[in-house]
């Protein structure tokens, strides 16, 4: 393997083992935590695949039973049935379950609001005018309350409140318009209309306030989940390079060693170090040194497989865990990285890396495997740098 003349960097091991890592603060996460995760949407999909057909059939049966006695009520029930069955069909044909469910919900809202437009026409025949307000107060309002609750399940927090408030105000306005018409025709009394309006406003408004409380609790929980995820990520990520840090690497090394011993699966480890890194910092400054480490991390990412774990172990030393890779494969991959680094323009002169590779032996611990790889890296430094040694 190609060698570069020179002596070992006497300060490397002190910086790699004990030096504090330099770097910039981690960037804040983008986007807010959302309840609409893939798992949540799948749960909605499964639930509504049962709800839609069951409700659709039930509403069509209600329409058939009421057809002779009250055709208008039957038509509205049939409309509900058609919406629910269309939703059931849409879930089978459309890829986006959430889009189908929300679309069916909005169509159901339109049908439900028509009950408020036709509220007095839907009352039982022969009902006294003084009783109409009391009957209406509990006859169809449950539809509104169910739909308002569904808003919280089907829409993100800002929109859940907006859709619920729109439904409440629209139903209240349509109900009062229908009440005014019924009052002018003598089919309702002023006391009944006031009772109907107050009941609708107070109960619906109380439910809307509760939805606001639910939304506030959800938003607080969302912030906590987001912050917890960020802290967990930051605790296991090197802020400068974005690679796993030493804590994450050490935990992964122990897991992979245990997983490899039982079936006898190969496990290799490569450690690497930037040659003459102190000279980069001394000559070009620490910002240039940070850029070198970030670009080397990018080169490392280009070489890894999906199962590999590249990490910044400390200072300018990196570790590269290769599950399932035998010794020969580990040496080949290390050599590819050495060549890639030697031909890369880091912006501060030609730089090279030295690497040490080791493969897990039967009964060996993770610490022993790392010690052999690190020893091989030290020999590569002493032997002239810009080379791969096997431990």
248 near 236, Cβ under 8 Å?
Answer: yes
Q: Say which of 59, 256, 316, 389 is annotated catalytic.
A: 316
- Whether 66 is catalytic is no
Helix (H, G, I), strand (E, B) or coil at 242: coil
Spatial distance between the Cα atoms of 249 and 378, rounded to a whole number of angstroms: 20
331 near 388, Cβ under 8 Å?
Answer: yes
252 near 321, Cβ under 8 Å?
Answer: yes
Report DSSP state, residue 11. Answer: T
126 CB neighbour count, 10 Å cutoff? 5
Q: Which own/partner contact pairs does 58-62 have at CB distance under 8 Å and 24+ positions apart?
A: 59/84, 60/85
Question: HSE of 165 in the Cβ direction (CA atoms, 13 Å)?
Answer: 8
Closest alpha carbon to 317 in 385, 357, 271, 350 = 271
> Which residues touch 362 (CB under 8 Å, ≥6 apart)?
261, 264
343 CB neighbour count, 10 Å cutoff? 9
Residue 252's DSSP bridge partners are none
Which residue shows structure tokens 């069955």? 85
Helix (H, G, I), strand (E, B) or coil at 272: strand
Which residue shows structure tokens 């107060």? 137
Return the active site residues.
316
């Amino acid at each position: 393997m190609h060698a570069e003349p020179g002596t070992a960097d006497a300060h490397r091991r002190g910086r790699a083992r004990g030096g504090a890592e330099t770097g910039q603060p981690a960037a804040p996460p983008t986007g807010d935590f959302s309840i609409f995760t893939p798992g949540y949407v799948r749960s909605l999909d499964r639930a509504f695949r049962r709800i839609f057909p069951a409700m659709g059939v039930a509403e069509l049966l209600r329409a058939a039973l009421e057809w002779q006695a009250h055709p208008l009520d039957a038509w509205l029930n049939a409309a509900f049935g058609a919406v629910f069955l269309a939703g059931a069909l849409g879930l089978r044909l459309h890829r986006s379950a959430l889009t189908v469910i929300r679309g069916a919900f909005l169509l159901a809202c339109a049908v439900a609001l028509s009950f408020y437009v036709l509220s007095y026409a839907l009352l039982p025949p022969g009902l006294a005018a003084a009783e109409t307000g009391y009957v209406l107060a509990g006859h169809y309002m449950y539809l509104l309350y169910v739909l308002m609750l569904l808003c919280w399940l089907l829409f993100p927090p800002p929109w859940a409140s907006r859709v619920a408030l729109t439904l409440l105000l629209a139903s209240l306005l349509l109900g009062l318009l229908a009440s005014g018409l019924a009052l002018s025709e003598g089919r309702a009394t002023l006391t009944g209309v006031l009772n109907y309006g107050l009941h609708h406003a107070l109960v619906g408004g109380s439910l809307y306030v509760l939805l606001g409380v639910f939304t506030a609790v959800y938003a607080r929980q969302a912030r906590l989940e987001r912050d917890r995820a960020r802290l967990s990520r930051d605790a296991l990520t090197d802020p400068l390079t974005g690679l796993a840090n030493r804590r994450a690497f050490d935990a992964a090394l122990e897991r992979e060693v245990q997983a490899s011993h039982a079936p006898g699966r190969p496990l290799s480890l490569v450690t690497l170090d930037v040659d003459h890194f102190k000279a980069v910092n001394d000559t070009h400054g620490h910002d240039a040194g940070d850029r070198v480490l970030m670009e080397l991390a990018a080169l490392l990412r280009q070489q890894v497989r999906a199962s590999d774990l590249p990490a910044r172990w400390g200072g300018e030393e990196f570790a590269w865990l290769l599950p399932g890779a035998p010794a020969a494969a580990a040496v080949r991959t290390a050599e590819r990285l050495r060549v890639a680094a030697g031909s890369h323009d880091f912006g501060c002169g030609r730089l090279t890396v030295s690497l040490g590779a080791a493969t897990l032996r039967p009964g060996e611990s993770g610490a022993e495997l790392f010690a052999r790889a690190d020893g091989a890296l030290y020999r590569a430094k002493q032997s002239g740098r810009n080379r791969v040694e096997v431990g």
